[in-house]
Amino acid sequence: MDYRMTIIIPVFNEIDNLDRIHSTFTDYFSKSKTKSKVLFIDDGSTDDSFNKISEICTNNPDFEYLKFKENCGLSAAIKAGIDHIETELIGYIDADLQTTPYDFDILLEDIDNYQAVIGYRGKRKDTLSKKIQSLIANSIRRSLINDGVIDTGCPLKVLRTDVAKKIPFFKGMHRFIPALILLQNGKIKQLKVQHFERIAGTSKFNIFNRSLKALRDTFAYRWMRKSYINYTIEKSKIS
């Protein structure tokens, strides 16, 4: 089948959400004008998530998977997805479905003119503590790198695959995908998307990995931005 986009869904102990992911994406695929498929990345789940993923993917070409031997983290899951995708476009969404795949069609309307189109959550449906953690993390990032990104934590993104494959990777990279594309002199567009309460499963983030790790990773990005190499080849002759 001629797919244009592959959507990365990292999974770590999300057994209670996988049937809903399957049904929601099956319906989305039947309605979207863009031919797409899902690539699950099982990040070393210790519940029954992988068995459910395997069941979903059996005899269903719209769903594929990669399974990590052990838990490696969100940035590694995204990197593995990017490394293995060959479609023109890469989508990204979290397994909690607090954003909806139907909003991919909003982002896709502008992707031909940008290297990435990313969502920002209009009306957040998180708990107060989660909102505070995100506010702190976003404030730290904005004050230190000032990349103009409204909501770097929004998990709904569409990237051009050739650009995504050039992103330099490090732990915590998932917080800086738009900023890392800007390092390549790429253009991004930000559009408001819907946000919903988490219906099932539990969040894997807390004040430590939202704020303290974000501070460490922001300094890593600042160093990379200062040292990043960009060049344009005007002419070549290579045999």
Q: So what's the pLDDT on residue 169?
A: 78
Say which residue, 59 or 207, is predicted with more confidence: 59
List the Cα angle 45/51/55 in 5-degree steps. 140
Distance of alpha carbon 31 from alpha carbon 92, whole angstroms: 18
- Measured from the Cβ of residue 222, the count of other Cβ atoms closer than 10 Å reads 12
Is residue 104 one of the residues assigned to a domain?
Answer: yes
Domain holding 77, by residue range, is: 5-127+150-202
Query: Would residue 220 count as lying in a domain?
Result: no
32-77 pLDDT, tens digit per residue, is 999 999 999 999 999 999 999 999 999 899 999 999 999 999 999 9
- Reference 29, options 60, 58, 55, 53; nearest CA is 60
Residue 229 covered by a domain: no
Domain count, the chain: 1
pLDDT(120) > 80:
yes
The 3-state DSSP class for residue 177 equals: helix
Query: Does 161 have pLDDT greater than 80?
Result: yes
Exposure string for 167-200, b = 16+ CB within 10 A, e = fewer: beeeebbbbbbbbbbbbeebebbbbebbbeebee
Residue 139 has pLDDT above 80, yes or no: no
Domain assignment present for residue 118? The answer is yes
CATH code where residue 40 lies: 3.90.550.10
Phi-psi region of 38 (alpha: psi -120 to 50; beta: other; left: phi over 0): beta
Overall size of the chain counted in residues: 239
| Amino acid identity at 149 | V
Q: Is pLDDT larger for residue 207 or for residue 124?
A: 124
Q: Is the residue at 79 inside a domain?
A: yes
Is residue 207 domain-resident?
A: no
Q: What is the mean pLDDT of residues 166-180?
A: 84
Render pLDDT for 70-110 as a digit per residue (tens, 0 to 9): 999 999 999 999 999 999 999 999 999 999 999 999 999 99
Banded pLDDT at 205 (limits 50, 70, 90) = low
The mean pLDDT value of the chain amounts to 87
pTM of the model: 0.83
Confidence of residue 168 (pLDDT cuts 50, 70, 90): confident
User: Where residue 227 falls among pLDDT bands split at 50, 70, 90?
Assistant: confident
| pLDDT-above-70 percentage for the chain | 86
Lowest average pLDDT, out of 2-6, 37-41, 163-167, 196-200, goes to 196-200
Residue written as token pair 């809903």 = 20
All residues at 6 or more sequence positions from 231 whose CB lies less than 8 Å from its CB, including other chains: none
Q: Is residue 223 part of a domain?
A: no
- Rounded distance between C-alpha atoms, residue 122 and residue 124, angstroms: 6
In-domain check, residue 140: no
